[in-house]
Amino acid sequence: MTSVSVDNQTTAQEAHTDDYSLDRVPRSERKMGWLSITNITFGIATAIFYFQMGSVMALQFGAINALISSAYAIIVAGILGSFIAYFSAKSGMNVNLMSRGGGFGYIGASLTSLIYASNFILYVAFEGLILVAAVYTFFPSIPQWVLIVFFGTIVIPLNWFGIKQLDKLQKWSLPIFFVFLIAAIVFSFLTPSVYEGSFWTYMPEGVEVGGTALLACIGMHHGIMGLTALLASDYTRFLKPKDIKKGSIIIGFVPQFFCFGVMGGLGIWFGVRLGEANPGVYIVTLLGLGGALFTALTQLRINVTNIYSASLSLSNFFENMFRFTPGRRFWVVVAGILAIVLMLGGIVDHLGAVMTFQGVFLLAWAAVLVADALIVKKMLKIGPLYYEARQKYLYKWNPVGTVALIVASVLGTIAALGFMGEFLASTAAFFAAILAAILTVVLAIATKGRYYMRKQPEEVPEEDFIA
C-alpha cells in the first residue's frame, strides 16, 4: 500500500471518528433513515424550555394568542427547516459548511460558525440551570455549584462517539420521556384547576386577541425558531439519498410541530390550569421526585444535541481561522467547560438579551442560505449549483452572504431594542430575515457571483448539486 493511500485512509478514519465535522459526508456514509434522524432531533423538541415558553405566553398574553403564535412558529420554522434539511441532505454538509460556498466565503463562514457555537453553548447553560434548579429542590444540602459541575460534565461522555451514540441515546430515552409526560398530563387532570373555564379561553385582564399581545408572543417565538430550523442540518447530512425528498419535509416539520405545538401547547395548558409559569415548579408539584427525574431526562436529551452542534461549529471556526484541527471530541470538552463557566457566572440573568440577538441572527442566517440556494443558485444561475467547503477553492470573503447577514442582524437588533417602533420591535427577527434574503439576491446580482469560487473543483458528484 502506498503512503498516499495510507494517508487517505487515515484521513477518512479521522473524519469518520469526528462525524465529518470539516467536510461533506461521503455518499457511502449517508446511511441513516429519516426516522432515525427525526428521533435525534427530538432531543431539542422535548426540552422543558418549550413548556416554559408556552406557560409564560399564556399567562401574560392570553392562551389564544399563544396558540396562534405557536401555529405561526410551526409553519415558518417548518418551511425554513425543510429547505435547510433538503440542502444539507443533498450536499452532505451542515449549515456551517454550506455557508462557506453559500455566500459567505471560508472566513465569512467562520463568523457564523462562532456565533452559532456560542448560541449552543449558551443553551447548554440555560437548560443545565433548569435541571440544577429541579434537583436542588429535592437535595438542597448539595451546593448548587456541585450540581452545575456534575450535570455540565456528564454530557461530555454522552457525546463522545458522535451521531450513532446520539441516535441510541435518544431512541432509548424517548419512551421513558413519554411515560413521564403522560403521567404529568394525567396528574394535571386530577389536580383542581385554578382557572374555571376552558384553558384556551384564558385571557389576562386588559389583554385582547391579536394586536400587541399576539406580536409579543410572536417575538418570543422568534428567539428560538431560527435555531430549530438550522439545527437539523447537523443530522440530515447523514440521510440516505433515497429518503431526501420525503425525509426533508418530515425532519423539517415534525420537530417544529412537537416543539411549538405539543410541548408549547402543553405548556399553555399546564400554565393556565395550574396558574404557574415555571415548569421546574409545576412538574415537580405534579410528579414529586418523578418530576425532578423527568426534568433531568429532558434536559440531558437536549444538552447532548446542543453540545454536539457546538462541537461541530467550533471545529469549523478554528479550522477555518487558525488551521487548528484537534478533532470534534476536543471541542466537546471545550463546549462543556464553557457552559459550566457560564452557569457558575449566572448567565440566566441575561436570557432576554441573549435570545433577542440570537433570534435576529439565526433567522437572518437561515434566510440567507435559503435565498442563496433557491433564488441565486437555482433561479438566477449565479454561482455554482453545489456547495464547496474546501478553502483552496474559495475566497476568504464573499460579500453576498456576509454583508447581507451583518446588515440585517444590526438593523434587526436595533429594531428589537425598540428604536424602529413597537411593531418592528416584536417582529425584528422576521424583519431581519426578509431584509437578509433581499440583500442576498441584490448583492449576488451586483457582484455577478464572482466571489463564490476562486477555482472550480472537478470531482463534485452531480448527485450533490442542490440546484
pLDDT for the residue numbered 8? 40
H helix and E strand count, the chain = 19, 0
Whether the predicted pLDDT of 295 surpasses 70: yes
The cell numbers describing 140, all together, are 438542597
Question: Residues 199-222: what's their mean pLDDT?
Answer: 90
Instruction: Name the least confident of 78-82, 102-106, 223-227.
Output: 223-227
Q: Look at 232 and 365; give whichever has higher pLDDT.
A: 365
Whether the predicted pLDDT of 30 surpasses 80: yes
Residue 76: what residue type?
Answer: V
pLDDT for the residue numbered 348? 66
Across 309-323, 341-355, 405-419, 452-466, which has the greatest mean pLDDT? Answer: 405-419
220 confidence band (pLDDT: 50, 70, 90): confident
The cell numbers describing 186, all together, are 394525567
Helix H or strand E segment including 290? helix 289-322
Residue 272: what residue type?
Answer: V
Whether the predicted pLDDT of 300 surpasses 90: no
Closest Cα to residue 118, out of 260, 227, 9? Answer: 227
The pTM of the full predicted model, rounded to 2 decimals, is 0.88
**Is 199 a domain residue?**
yes
pLDDT for the residue numbered 263? 94
- Residue 269 and residue 155 in contact, taking contact as beta carbons nearer than 8 Å: no
Instruction: Give the pLDDT confidence of 88-123 residue by residue, as tens digits.
Output: 999 999 999 999 999 999 999 988 888 889 888 988
- Provide the number of structural domains found in the chain: 1
Query: Which sign, positive or negative, has the C-alpha torsion 39, 45, 47, 51?
Result: negative
- Residue 159 and residue 304 in contact, taking contact as beta carbons nearer than 8 Å: yes
Residue 331: what residue type?
Answer: W
pLDDT for the residue numbered 253? 95
Question: Residues 138-142: what's their mean pLDDT?
Answer: 87
Whether the predicted pLDDT of 15 surpasses 70: no
Task: Report residue 464 CA to chain centroid gap.
Answer: 24
What is the residue range of 269's domain? 27-350
**Following DSSP, what letter does each residue of 186-214 receive, concatenated?**
HHHHHSPPSS-S-GGG---TT--SSHHHH
- Residue 101 and residue 387 in contact, taking contact as beta carbons nearer than 8 Å: yes
* Beta carbons within 10 angstroms of residue 160's beta carbon: 11
Across 120-129, 335-344, 437-446, which has the greatest mean pLDDT? Answer: 437-446
The cell numbers describing 7, all together, are 494517508
Percent of the chain exceeding pLDDT 90 equals 54
Cα–Cα distances in angstroms (integers) from residue 307 to residues 16, 159, 220, 232, 268, in the given order: 18, 7, 23, 14, 28
Instruction: Name the least confident of 19-28, 261-270, 271-280, 421-430.
Output: 19-28
Residue 382: what residue type?
Answer: I
**Is 72 a domain residue?**
yes
**Is 39 a domain residue?**
yes
**Is 370 a domain residue?**
no
Separation CA 394–CA 455 (nearest Å): 7
Mean pLDDT (the chain) is 88
pLDDT for the residue numbered 60? 93
Percent of the chain exceeding pLDDT 70 equals 95
- Domain CATH number, residue 205: 1.10.4160.10
Angle between helix axes 399-416 and 351-371 (nearest 10 degrees) is 150
**Is 359 a domain residue?**
no
Cα–Cα distances in angstroms (integers) from residue 291 to residues 89, 134, 137, 203, 296, in the given order: 37, 8, 11, 28, 9
Helix H or strand E segment including 289? helix 289-322
Across 30-34, 96-100, 351-355, 441-445, which has the greatest mean pLDDT? Answer: 441-445
Separation CA 264–CA 224 (nearest Å): 12
Is 253 in a helix, a strand, or coil?
A: helix
pLDDT for the residue numbered 80? 94
The cell numbers describing 138, all together, are 429535592
**Following DSSP, what letter does each residue of 105-121 receive, concatenated?**
HHHHHHHHHHHHHHHHH
Whether the predicted pLDDT of 386 surpasses 60: yes
Instruction: Give the pLDDT confidence of 418-438 residue by residue, as tens digits.
Output: 899 888 988 999 999 999 999
pLDDT for the residue numbered 333? 95
Instruction: Give the pLDDT confidence of 40-54 residue by residue, as tens digits.
Output: 888 778 888 899 899
**Is 145 a domain residue?**
yes
- Phi/psi at 449 (nearest 5 deg)? 70, 15
pLDDT for the residue numbered 350? 67
φ/ψ region of 119 (left if φ > 0, alpha if ψ in -120 to 50, else beta) reads alpha
Separation CA 415–CA 334 (nearest Å): 34
Separation CA 317–CA 197 (nearest Å): 52
Which stretches of 139-161 are DSSP H helices? 144-154
- Residue 21 and residue 234 in contact, taking contact as beta carbons nearer than 8 Å: no
**Is 424 a domain residue?**
no
353 confidence band (pLDDT: 50, 70, 90): low
pLDDT for the residue numbered 366? 94
18 confidence band (pLDDT: 50, 70, 90): low
Contacts 24+ apart (CB under 8 A), 441-448: 441/371, 441/375, 441/376, 441/380, 443/399, 443/400, 443/403, 443/404, 444/103, 444/372, 444/376, 444/380, 444/382, 444/383, 444/400, 445/380, 445/382, 447/399, 447/400, 448/382
Is 235 in a helix, a strand, or coil?
A: helix
Closest Cα to residue 135, out of 314, 278, 262, 289? Answer: 289
**Is 406 a domain residue?**
no
CA torsion, ordered 67, 68, 69, 73, to nearest 10 deg = 100
